[in-house]
């Protein structure tokens, strides 16, 4: 069971908490070089890992408590293809507490454990008529519409992170090639981060389209910034669960609808993610 949220639980993890979490992971004997962060609808992917250890976030001092349905709060360590991997079943969203750096300790731990690639997943709304619910989009870039950073409060030069290639071009090329090889549809586009938890208005959707985004969601960008700050390469996929507000008048948006649509898309999404991760080089 996840720890209940509290003021003390939301405090930033210390270097000691990260060190103790690294030790806890190292004690399993797993040495992951790839981490996969599972968003809404992607949780069953963890079952595809040949397990070595399963650790609740509550046992990992640098990991945050979670409070959103569909995010289990469990770290799965094991093998996928030729790779040792760490699969994070769930993230803490900025809209839960207003803290954009909630995953700081988890990402710092991954880097300290030797992880070199972070594969992110999420559920998102489409802003592009050609990208339909049930399909997948590879994130090529993002718009930080929240204009907040998980690096606020840090000191030193490492906080000035270059995001020119936030979503690694080489990893994206390999992912697209994998999708083509297995005959899967994989779109590519810009992801707009909105804070939430409310869904966007039709006017906001029109604004995002004008700004050049193809999908919108409430996560991923803070973790990408944190990952790049620690030198991790990032690959990210959005599972499209709905059209943006106003683009489909017959559709009422809700978290329950998001989860239901994500479950319907899993049959195609999970095998493709497995093939992409198995085919990575790091």
Active site residues: 40, 71, 93, 95-96, 123, 218-219, 242, 255
| Each residue's pLDDT tens digit, 93-139 | 999 999 999 999 999 999 999 999 999 999 999 999 999 999 999 99
Under the banding of pLDDT at 50, 70 and 90, the label for residue 264 is confident
CB 216 within 8 A of CB 124: yes
The CATH number corresponding to 15-278 among 3.40.50.1580, 3.90.1170.30, 3.50.50.60, 3.40.50.970 equals 3.40.50.1580
Tell me how crowded residue 275 is: count the other CB atoms within 10 A of its CB. 16
Closest CA to 217 of 232, 203, 236: 236
Show me where the domains of the chain are located. 15-278
Q: According to the model, what pLDDT value does residue 2 have?
A: 44
Confidence (pTM): 0.92
Task: Indicate if the pLDDT at residue 189 is higher than 50.
Answer: yes
Rounded to 10 deg, the angle between the 221-229 and 104-112 helix axes is: 40
The pLDDT, as a whole number, for residue 68 is: 66
**Count of beta carbons in the 10 Å neighbourhood of residue 68:** 18
Cis peptide before 221 (omega within 30 of 0): no
DSSP bridge partners of 190: 141
Element (H, E) at 65: none
- For residue 74, pLDDT over 90 is answered with yes
pLDDT at 12 over 90: no
């Amino acid at each position: 069971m996840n720890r209940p949220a509290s003021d003390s639980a939301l405090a930033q993890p210390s270097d000691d908490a990260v060190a103790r979490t690294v030790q806890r992971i190292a004690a399993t004997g797993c040495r992951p070089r790839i981490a996969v962060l599972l968003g809404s609808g992607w949780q069953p992917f963890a079952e595809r890992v040949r397990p070595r250890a399963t650790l609740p976030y509550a046992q990992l001092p640098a990991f945050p408590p979670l409070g959103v349905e569909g995010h289990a709060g469990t770290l799965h360590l094991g093998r996928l293809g030729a790779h040792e991997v760490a699969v994070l079943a769930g993230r803490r969203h900025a809209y839960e507490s207003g803290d954009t750096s909630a995953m700081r300790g988890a990402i710092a731990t991954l880097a300290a454990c030797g992880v070199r690639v972070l594969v992110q997943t999420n559920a998102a709304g489409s802003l592009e008529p050609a990208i339909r619910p049930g399909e997948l989009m590879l994130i090529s870039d993002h718009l930080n519409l929240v204009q907040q950073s998980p690096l606020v409060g840090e000191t030193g030069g490492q906080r000035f992170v270059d995001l020119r290639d936030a979503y690694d071009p080489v990893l994206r090329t390999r992912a697209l090639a994998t999708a083509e090889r297995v005959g899967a549809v994989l779109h590519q586009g810009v992801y707009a981060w909105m804070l939430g938890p409310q869904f966007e208005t039709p006017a906001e959707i029109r604004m995002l389209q004008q700004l050049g985004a193809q999908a919108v969601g409430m996560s991923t960008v803070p973790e990408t910034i944190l990952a790049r700050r620690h030198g991790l390469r990032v690959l990210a996929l959005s599972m499209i669960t709905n059209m943006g507000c106003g683009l489909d008048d017959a559709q009422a948006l809700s978290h329950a609808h998001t989860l239901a649509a994500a479950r319907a898309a899993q049959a195609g999404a999970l095998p493709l993610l497995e093939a992409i991760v198995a085919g990575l080089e790091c």
